[in-house]
Structure 1
Amino acid sequence: MSNPLARAQYLLAAHNARQLPPDGGFEVAFAGRSNAGKSTALNAICQQNALARVSKTPGRTQQLVYFEIPPTTDRFLVDLPGYGYAKVPKDLQAHWQAFLDEYFRTREALKGLVVVMDIRHPLKDYDRQMLDYAVSRDLPAHAILTKADKLGRGQQTQTLLAVRKDLAASYGDTVSVQVFSGESRQGLDEARDVIGRWLEL
């Protein structure tokens, strides 16, 4: 089965709303706390090694990074800045808060949100904040529990069931969840199916 997401390529990085592409077409945004494995997940889903930069320094993504999916000109993956570390200056945090708030509130092209969480530390405040953004807009959201290879199968299942129960209690059926590992390739097809459906690929 061919993977249209494998064609994804870097388009631009936006520091403010004026730099965003025209608001049309289909976008799926990726959010995740620093070091949750967001870049690794993006790269694995797109079958590329260096599409999203994997950084040892937390909080390196400091803009909205757009990847387009040829041959279309209106299908995008959007890498959101991941925080959760206090090393980011307060004024920058405030800027991002305002920018993300506006993006989620007004962006018509946004069709779904993927929230990447370390399976060993799921549903932190940042994760819930991102899910709240999506649900307030009636957008579907999909939680990816990364680094599953760090746990045994029994622990994976236990965590998945606990997170699913929590999400259902908080958000009803608007947020789906899966186990994932960029290292072992676990859950890749499931993630691609969700994203491909939202992008109508």
Structure 2
Amino acid sequence: MFENASFVISNTDHNLCPKPDKPEFAFIGRSNVGKSSLINMLTQKKNLAKTSGRPGKTQLINHFIVDDQWYLVDLPGYGYAKTSKSNRVAWSIMIEKYLLERENLQMVFVLIDSRLEPQKIDIEFVTWLGEAGIPLGLIFTKADKQSINKSQQSIARFRKVMKETWEELPVMFVSSAESGLGRTEIAEYIHGVLTA
């Protein structure tokens, strides 16, 4: 498990990110999917990432150092956020440049709300990552808000949609920031990538 995590830097330009001398794992999802809560749950630090009931709280590329070994990166959410169209365009360019050009990026974890039907915006984003050759995993969030059965059905529907265009599906996790569900599995997976 992760012993220590601390904030390093926030910025809007991937060129100003920390030196790419450590492996990096990025977390992204639709606005209000529970990304900051998940990051806080994974690192077991209550206020490491700023949480908000308002979608679009994360507006910068946020770097955190974990155990002095790797960077955890909190990216702005995509999709709905109460901000201007020009802001949204700027965010998407910033995220795209980071994802395509960050050489030490090991993996992108895309967070999906486990309570919802497959959302077009999530499918499109995941497909874009796949086509760009960026390694990814899916984390289905907010599993505590419904029965395990419902979460499993939701994941099955998402898998079904992906299977229409994907030969091999990415790794998938079920999580709850409230109960800590998924923490061990995600942590072990990251450790596995780091030690591979």
Q: TM-score, normalised by structure 1?
A: 0.88
Written as runs of structure 1 = structure 2, the 5 A alignment for 1:43-122 is 43-72=40-69, 75-121=70-116
From the superposition, tell whether residues 200 and 8 of structure 1 become closer, same or farther in structure 2 (CA, over 3 Å). farther
From the superposition, tell whether residues 187 and 79 of structure 1 become closer, same or farther in structure 2 (CA, over 3 Å). same
For structure 2, list consecutive stretches of 5 or more residues without a partner in the other structure.
none
Written as runs of structure 1 = structure 2, the 5 A alignment for 1:1-201 is 3-4=1-2, 6-72=3-69, 75-121=70-116, 123-200=118-195
SS at match of 1:170: coil
> What is the deviation of 1:183?
1.0
Q: Deviations over 1:93-123 (max 9, x none)?
A: 1211212221122111111011111111254
SS at match of 2:164: helix
Q: Which amino acid aligns with 1:104?
A: L
Question: Is contact 1:168-1:175 (8 Å) kept?
Answer: no
From the superposition, tell whether residues 152 and 187 of structure 1 become closer, same or farther in structure 2 (CA, over 3 Å). same
Aligned residues: 196
> What is the deviation of 1:175?
1.3
From the superposition, tell whether residues 152 and 39 of structure 1 become closer, same or farther in structure 2 (CA, over 3 Å). same
RMSD: 1.9
The percent identity for this pair of structures is: 31
From the superposition, tell whether residues 86 and 62 of structure 1 become closer, same or farther in structure 2 (CA, over 3 Å). closer
> What is the deviation of 1:86?
4.7
| More deviation, 163-172/181-190 | 163-172
> What is the deviation of 1:82?
0.7
Q: Which amino acid aligns with 1:49?
A: K
